[in-house]
Structure 1
Amino acid sequence: MTNKHYAIIGGGINGLSVARQLLLDFPDAKVTVFEKENSVAMHQSSHNSGVVHAGLYYEPGGLKARLCRRGAELVYKFCLENEVAYDECGKVVVALSKEEEIRLNAIYQKSVANQVPDVRILEASEIQDIEPNCIGTSALYSPRTAIVSYGDIAKKIAEEIKRKGGSIILGQKVTHLTERFNKITVHFDNNEHHSTVFDYVVTCAGLQSDRLAASSGDIETPKIVPFFGQYYVIDENFKNYVRGLIYPVPDPKYPFLGVHFTKRIDGQMTIGPNAFISFGRENYSGKKINISDIYDFLTYKGFWKFSSKNMPAAMRELRTVLSQTNFVSEAAKYVPSLANVSVIPATRGIRAQAMESDGSLVDDFVIRKQGNITHIRNAPSPGATSSLAIAEYIVREVMSHG
Structure 2
Amino acid sequence: MYDFCIVGGGIVGLATAMAVLETRPGARLVLVEKEDALGSHQTGHNSGVIHAGVYYAPGSLKATLCREGEVATKRFCTEHGIPFAVPGKLIVATDRMELDRLGALETNARKNGIALRRVDGGELRELEPGIVGLGALLVEASGIVDYGAVARAMGAVIAKQGGQIVRSARVDRIEERGDHVRVVAGGQAWEARHAIACAGLQADRLAAASGVDIDFRIVPFRGEYYAVRPEKRALVRRMIYPVPDPALPFLGIHLTPMIDGSLTVGPNAVLALAREGYEKLALDIADVASFARFPGFWRLIGRNLRSGLGEMKDSAFKASYLEKCHKYCPSLELDDLLPYRAGIRAQAVMRDGTMVHDFLFRKSGNVLHVCNAPSPAATSAIPIGRMIAGKFD
Q: Identify the residue that residue 82 of structure 2 maps to in structure 1.
A: 84
1:335 aligns with 2:329: yes
How far did residue 261 of structure 1 move? 0.7
Corresponding position of 1:38: 36
Say if 2:240 is the partner of 1:243. no
Instruction: State the alpha-carbon separation in 2 of the partners of residues 213 and 145 from structure 1.
Output: 35
Structure 1: how far apart are the matches of 2:23 and 2:344? 32
Matched, 1:187 2:184: yes
Deviation at 1:341, TM superposition (A): 4.6
Deviation at 1:329, TM superposition (A): 2.2
User: Alpha-carbon deviation of 1:294?
Assistant: 0.5
Q: Work out whether 1:346 is the aligned partner of 2:340.
A: yes
* d(CA) in 2 for partners of 1:60, 1:211: 33
TM-score between the two structures when normalised by the length of structure 2 = 0.97
Q: Deviations over 1:154-191 (max 9, x none)?
A: 00111111112111011111111111222001112x2x
> Which residue number corresponds to residue 315 of structure 2?
321
Cα distance in 1, alignment partners of residues 321 and 228 from structure 2? 12
Letter in 2 for 1:74: A
The residue identity in structure 1 corresponding to 2:267 is: P
| Residues 121 and 133, structure 2, Cα contact 8 Å, conserved in 1 | yes
Q: Is the 8 A contact 1:369 1:399 kept in 2?
A: no
Per the TM alignment, residue 369 of structure 1 is displaced from its structure 2 partner at its CA by 3.1
Asked whether the equivalents of residues 217 and 350 of structure 2 are also in contact (C-alpha less than 8 Å), the reply is yes
Q: Structure 1: how far apart are the matches of 2:334 and 2:183? A: 53
What letter corresponds to residue 147 of structure 1 in structure 2? I
The RMSD of aligned alpha carbons is 1.5
Residue 64, structure 1, aligned to residue 62, structure 2: yes
2:157 aligns to what?
A: 160
Measured in 2, the distance between the counterparts of 1:323 and 1:273 equals 14
Q: Distance in 2 between matches of 1:386 and 1:318?
A: 30
Rounded to whole Å, the distance in 1 between the matches of 2:39 and 2:21 is 19
Give 3-state SS (helix, strand or coil) of 2:282's partner: coil
- Structure 2 gaps of 5+ residues are none
- Which residue of 2 is the match for residue 207 of structure 1? 201
Once the two structures are superposed, what CA deviation does each residue of 1:293-342 show, in whole Å capped at 9, x if it has no partner? Answer: 00111111111111111111012111211111221221121011224452
- For structure 1, list consecutive stretches of 5 or more residues without a partner in the other structure: none
Q: What letter matches 1:353 in structure 2? A: Q
Q: Work out the CA distance in 1 between the residues paired with 2:58 and 2:37.
A: 36
Q: Secondary structure at the match of 2:374?
A: coil
Question: Would the aligned equivalents of 1:35 and 1:169 in 2 still touch at CA under 8 Å?
Answer: yes
- 1:97-136 superposed matches below 5 A: 97-116=95-114, 118-136=115-133
- Contact residue 2 and residue 30 of structure 2 kept, 8 A: no
Instruction: Report the Cα distance in structure 1 between the residues aligned to 2:267 and 2:82, rounded to whole angstroms.
Output: 25
Secondary structure of 2:250's aligned partner: coil
Tell me how far apart the structure 1 counterparts of residues 249 and 263 of structure 2 sit (CA, whole Å).
25
The match for 1:366 among 360, 367, 370 is 360
Shift of 1:221: 2.3
CA distance in 2, matches of 1:66, 1:347: 31
Q: How many residues align?
A: 393
SS at match of 1:73: helix
1:399 counterpart = 2:392: yes
Look up the match of 1:137. 134
Aligned position for 1:311: 305
Runs of 4+ in 1 over 3 A off after TM superposition: 252-255
Q: 1:17 aligns with which of 15, 18, 25?
A: 15
Aligned amino acid, residue 116 of structure 2: V
Residues 114-144 of structure 1: CA deviation (Å, up to 9, x unaligned): 112x211111122123222111111111011
d(CA) in 1 for partners of 2:260, 2:118: 29
| Structure 1 range deviating more: 172-181 or 339-348 | 339-348
Give the direction of change, closer, same or farther, for the CA distance of 1:386–1:253 in structure 2 (3 Å limit). Answer: closer
Aligned residue for 1:386, secondary structure, equals helix
In 2, the alpha carbon distance for the partners of 1:347 and 1:89 equals 23
Structure 1-normalised TM-score?
0.94
Residue of structure 2 in register with 1:75 after alignment = 73
The answer as to whether partners of 1:6 and 1:32 remain within 8 angstroms in 2 is: yes
- In the alignment, structure 1 residue 173 sits paired with structure 2 residue 170: yes
Residues 85 and 259 of structure 2 are in contact (CA less than 8 Å); yes or no, is this contact kept in structure 1? yes
2:270 to 254, 270, 276: 276
SS at match of 2:175: strand
| Contact kept? 1:62, 1:364, Cα under 8 Å | no
AA at the equivalent of 1:87: A
1:261 counterpart = 2:255: yes
2:306 aligned partner, one-letter code: P
Secondary structure in 2 aligned to 1:147? strand
Give, in whole Å, the separation in 2 of the partners of 1:88 and 1:341: 29
3-state DSSP class of the match of 1:380? coil
* Equivalent pair of 1:122/1:140 in contact (CA under 8 Å): yes
Structure 2 counterpart of 1:252: 246
> In 1, Cα distance between the equivalents of 2:38 and 2:354?
31
For the residue of structure 1 that corresponds to 2:351, the secondary structure is: coil
Aligned-pair identity (%):
39
Shift of 1:228: 0.3
Secondary structure in structure 1 of the residue aligned to 2:356:
coil
